[in-house]
Structure 1
Amino acid sequence: MKFSPHTVRASLTTPLGPMTLAATDAALVGAWFDGQQHQPSFDEWPVDPGHPLLRAAGQQLLEYFAGQRQHFDLPLDLSGGTAFQQAVWAQLQQIASGSTVSYGHISQHIQNPAAVRAVGAAVGRNPISVIVPCHRVLGAHGALTGYAGGLDRKIALLQLERPL
């Protein structure tokens, strides 16, 4: 994953643990639970808790965790991924809150039905957790499979979104 040299970061405390948010002047480029698999090294990015996009992302995430928001309204930049990853991440953004799909469903929608494992790898490397809802992807027959932020968080996110 490639990130702009102008990336800044901020921390956010959530009910599911601390997160690190990252943005450029133009868009949000990352949201990771601390310790999440595949997260980049943040050391080179200056801390800027007053950055407008980081503040907006933090506010919207807190509203989401409080059950007050189902959709995010933030500019996103996922261009640091490969073309394949970007196609998978675009499909993740189509999954409605309270819904789930399978890895096979995504592979069908990107016109690559044999790429189920590669889809799983791309989902796991999604750089914008929660906002780009990789937690809404399940294994075959609804099996709860891995989540880069931890299976316990995946379960909590799905329960938070469960329709009444």
Structure 2
Amino acid sequence: MYSQTTYNSPVGHLTLASDGESLIGLWLENQKYFADNFPEEWVANDCLPVFEATKKWLDRYFSGEQPSVTSIPLAPIGSEFRQTVWRLLHKIPYGQVMTYGELAEKIAAEMGRASMSSQAVGGAVGHNPISIIIPCHRVVGSDGSLTGYAGGLTTKVKLLTLEAVDMTNLYMPKHGISRN
């Protein structure tokens, strides 16, 4: 059985999930793939140490700090391939972005393959169950397009802006954000 709690953030209502020891989920309100692959029932529980640590981390993050994730035990549920992608997402520095293609190259190298499909990587990034902390919002299209965020592109822009990402070469043509 999993436990859950909520956190009200500047980007909306967040749902946190735990197996009792580790954080296994952090989803934005109306997030695509919300609680995907979580078959068991959840119970409300605000008192778990992992929830307290996560809420403190989120408080610091949303106040503009760059908190370390080492204080939160993370255990996202997913295939070995997805775990590899999520582990590499952690390596994207705060305030920087990486393209899906660059991420695919790194994964291919780690797996000892000549290449890796950017689409396969994008699927794994999109199914990241621990949003914000595993920073999938830092991944962009090869042309700088702000695309593919399960929490919504407006939220992606808010998170990148909070991290003071240089938005000069990033854009969302259908949403009024264009290249400068």
Instruction: Give the aligned partner of residue 48 of structure 1.
Output: 45
**TM-score normalised to structure 1 length:** 0.90
Q: How many residues align?
A: 158
Instruction: Give the aligned partner of residue 12 of structure 1.
Output: 7
4+ runs deviating over 2 angstroms: 68-73
For residues 40 and 24 of structure 1, the distance between their equivalents in structure 2, rounded to whole angstroms, comes to: 13
What's the CA shift for 1:146? 2.1
Mapping 1:17-32, distance limit 5 Å: 17-32=12-27
Kept in 2: contact 1:71–1:97 (CA 8 A): no
**Aligned residues with identical type, % of pairs:** 39
Mapping 1:9-158, distance limit 5 Å: 9-40=4-35, 44-72=41-69, 73-78=71-76, 80-111=77-108, 113-158=115-160
Moved more, 35-44 or 21-30: 35-44
User: Which residue identity does 1:140 align to in structure 2?
Assistant: S
Between structure 1 and structure 2, the one with the greater Rg is 2
SS in 1 for 2:6: strand
For residues 102 and 31 of structure 1, the distance between their equivalents in structure 2, rounded to whole angstroms, comes to: 23
Compute the RMSD of aligned alpha carbons.
Answer: 1.8
Structure 1: state its 5+ residue gaps.
none
Kept in 2: contact 1:21–1:31 (CA 8 A): yes
What's the CA shift for 1:163? 5.8
What's the CA shift for 1:58? 1.1
**TM-score normalised to structure 2 length:** 0.82
What's the CA shift for 1:59? 1.6
Query: 1:74-109: CA deviations, max 9, x gaps?
Result: 11002x201111111011011010111011111111
For residues 35 and 163 of structure 1, the distance between their equivalents in structure 2, rounded to whole angstroms, comes to: 25
Pair 99,70 (structure 1): closer, same or farther in 2 beyond 3 Å: farther
What's the CA shift for 1:131? 0.2
